[in-house]
Amino acid sequence: MAEQTVLVPILGDQLTPAISSLQGQAKNSTVVLMMEVWDEATYVKHHKQKIALIFSAMRHFAAALRDDGWTVDYVKLTDQDNAGSFSGEVARAIERHNPYRLRITQASEWRVQHAIDEWEDKFPCAIEVLSDDRFICSRSEFDHWAEGRKQLTMELFYREMRKKTGLLMNADGKPEGGKWNFDSENRQALDGALFVPSRPRFEPDSITKEVLTLVESRFGDHFGQLEPFEWPVTHAQACEAADAFFQERIENFGPYQDAMIFGEDDLYHSMLSTSINIGLLDPLDLCLRAEQAYRDGKAPLNSVEGFIRQIIGWREYVRGFYWHFMPALASANELDASRPLPELFWTGDTKMRCLADCIRSTNNNAHAHHIQRLMVLGNFCLLAGIDPQAVQDWYLAVYADAFDWVEMPNVVGMILYADGGRLATKPYAASGNYINKMSNYCGGCDYKVSAKTGDDACPFNPLYWHFMDRHRDRLSSNHRIGRIYSTWDRMSEQKQREYIDSAEKFLDSLEPAREGWAR
């Protein structure tokens, strides 16, 4: 090793060979540091599959770097004097390697970046923090776009990203197909008989098997089923998963994006978020492949535009939004929601068939698809007035693709309206009708979706009006929602009372989660 050593810590979601911290580095003077640390695995008690995914992908990535000629100092969770935190491990590595400089790509999460910001004063070497160029929109670019805007409309941001990337843009500067957004074609319910090709599932190799044993022994009390563990853990596996999506499922991705079928966990979704978020797949590359599928006549525009919008629209937008509003975003609670998260979110023990199925999928796969997270689980949390901190902890803990920067705007802004409407123009509140329209859940449910009040009524029905009634002051002036109050006002006092009483009886029946599930 040359005298002028540079230490390059690579975090668990930076598993990209071209990560900015490695760009331009000479292999003979660089020590890559990778750390399995107790703090990261337990600051919330992540789903077992999530910990296994990160550790296994980290170990495979370290092996690939070594094969490519890099020196990698890999600290395992079980290493005897593991310090348990990023800062502790970096301190030990500095003693071991005596680097003159430490180079790191900005952490994706505020919590971790905050710790990195203290390294300058803590450590004897120079600290260089590089921006994460795997995102299409830089943090400063988002801040510039957001400046002076009261409402940060995703659709407008998305158009800027279309122009910036040229994706689905024509030579005359107009969007392909004459429209920016084909969402109106993407709301079809699914016939349960429709054939859905299953995604590739990856057998654990020896590295993953070792990690699975470690996770079971150290994190056995965390939520979720560990096996079967089938997530891609290498770039090659993630590419295979992406290939299968582009060959078999993207065609139907758009139309059935919001559909839900009991027991069907993937449908036509890409199931690529875990791979994208930890760096195994490049988001822009995926969008280019989606566009190619359209240009080659293999997928319709509504599917391809929808997929691209999720990535260069929503994904980039929530990341910019997160950094723009942190750290205040973490404690935002505009609707003063304070109810504890119910125990059923951890056990799935509920007669509500839609909730039970989404929680089953979450438990089995560390995954639920977007509309389940938004319109079943999220809608429930919004209507029941669950404390935003508890909801954040839950979503962060249970999903394998969950990192603060993407989970928090979706929870605080999109589902809970706790940011006061900066992200969403109105709360995504819905009664049982919506779920009935988009799924086959209600048919086999103990509750009746058609019943509005009473013990056998779908709980979403009275909860919807309870929510509207208790937030009247805040919401009635919202032009997208205000007219709902005319419907409420036209109801008899007795009907209104029945709604409120049914909702309160249901809310009173919810058992709060026992201590120790999330933290």
Other beta carbons within 10 Å of 12: 24
Distances (CA, A) of 284 to 167, 175, 209, 290, 450: 9, 18, 32, 10, 44
How would you classify the pairing of strands 101-105 and 71-75? unpaired
The rounded distance, in Å, linking the Cα atoms of 7 and 25 is 10
Decide which of ligand DLZ, ligand FAD, ligand SF4, none touches 510; Cβ closer than 5 to 8 Å per partner kind. Answer: none
How far apart CA 416 and CA 427 sit, in angstroms, is 7
Report, in Å, the least distance between residue 379 CB and ligand SF4. Answer: 9
Task: Compare residues 42 and 433 and give the one whose CB is closer to ligand SF4.
Answer: 433
CB of 51 to ligand DLZ, least distance (A): 5
With CB under 6 A as the contact rule, the residue among 20, 44, 46, 233 that binds ligand DLZ is: 46
- Give the one entry of ligand DLZ, ligand SF4, ligand FAD, none that residue 154 binds, where binding means its C-beta sits below a cut-off of 5 to 8 angstroms depending on kind: none
Closer Cβ to ligand FAD, 175 or 388, answer by number: 388
With CB under 5 to 8 Å by kind, the binding choice for 414 among ligand DLZ, ligand FAD, ligand SF4, none is ligand FAD
Strands 30-35 and 6-9: parallel
Closer CB to ligand SF4, 302 or 350, in the complex: 350
Phi first, then psi, for residue 220 (nearest 5°) are -60, -25
Say which residues have a Cβ less than 8 Å from residue 96's Cβ, sequence separation at least 6: 73
Q: From the centroid of its chain, how far is CA 324?
A: 18
Count of positions on this chain that bind ligand DLZ (CB under 6 A)? 15
Site string for ligand DLZ, 80-119 (x = CB under 6 A): ---------------------------xxx--x-------
Location of structure tokens 């295979």: 240
Q: Specify the residue, 302 or 436, whose C-beta has the smaller distance to ligand SF4.
A: 436
- Which residue's CB is nearer to ligand FAD, number 415 or number 503? 415
Q: Are 31 and 8 in contact (CB under 8 A)?
A: yes
Q: Least distance (Å) from ligand SF4 to the CB of residue 393?
A: 24
Q: Distance (Å, rounded) from C-alpha 111 to C-alpha 108?
A: 9
Altogether, the residues listed in the chain come to a count of 519
Q: Write each residue from 381 to 420 as x if it is in contact with ligand FAD (CB under 6 A), else as -, in one continuous string.
A: --------------x---x-xx---xx--xx--xx-----
Decide whether 263 or 327 has the Cβ nearer to ligand DLZ.
327
Taking the complex as a whole, how short is the minimal distance between the CB of residue 149 and ligand DLZ, in angstroms? 27
From the list ligand SF4, ligand FAD, ligand DLZ, none, partner contacted by residue 359 (C-beta under 5 to 8 A by kind)? none
Question: Are 514 and 343 within 8 A, CB to CB?
Answer: yes
Q: Which of 488, 424, 403, 407 is nearest to 54 (CA)?
A: 403
Tell me the C-alpha to C-alpha distance, in Å, between residue 53 and each of 211, 232, 382, 405.
Answer: 9, 8, 30, 18
Residue linked to tokens 């020196």: 71
- Pick the closer one to ligand DLZ by CB: 37 or 356: 37
For residue 130, what is the enclosing H or E element? strand 126-130
Report whether 457 contacts 447 (CB < 8 A): yes
Phi, psi of 148, rounded to the nearest 5 degrees: 80, -5
Contact 300, 177 (CB under 8 A): no
For ligand DLZ, which is the closer residue by CB, 40 or 407? 40
Does residue 190 touch ligand FAD according to CB under 6 A? no
378 makes contact with ligand FAD (CB under 6 A): yes
Cβ-based nearer residue to ligand DLZ, 251 or 282 = 282
Q: Which of 32, 37, 341, 344 is the binder for ligand DLZ (CB under 6 A)?
A: 37
Tokens found for residue 368 = 């639920």
Q: How far apart are CA 33 and CA 136, in angstroms?
A: 26
How many residues of this chain interact with ligand FAD, rule: CB under 6 A?
28
Residue 241 interacting entry, from ligand SF4, ligand FAD, ligand DLZ, none, C-beta within 5 to 8 Å by type: none
407 binds, among ligand SF4, ligand FAD, ligand DLZ, none (CB under 5 to 8 A by kind): ligand FAD
Which of ligand FAD, ligand SF4, ligand DLZ, none has residue 36 at its interface (CB below 5 to 8 Å by kind)? ligand DLZ
Q: Interface with ligand SF4 by CB under 6 A: which residues? A: 352-354, 432, 435-436, 441-442, 445, 447, 449, 458-460
Residue 348's nearest CA partner among 327, 362, 334 is 362
To ligand FAD, the closest distance from the beta carbon of 160 in angstroms equals 17
CA distances in angstroms from 400 to 182, 227, 324, listed in the order given: 29, 13, 24
CB 103 within 8 A of CB 130: yes
Q: By the criterion CB under 6 A, which residues form the site for ligand FAD? A: 269-273, 276-277, 307, 310-311, 314-315, 318, 369-370, 373-374, 378, 395, 399, 401-402, 406-407, 410-411, 414-415
Q: By the criterion CB under 6 A, which residues form the site for ligand DLZ? A: 11-13, 35-37, 40-41, 46, 51, 54, 107-109, 112
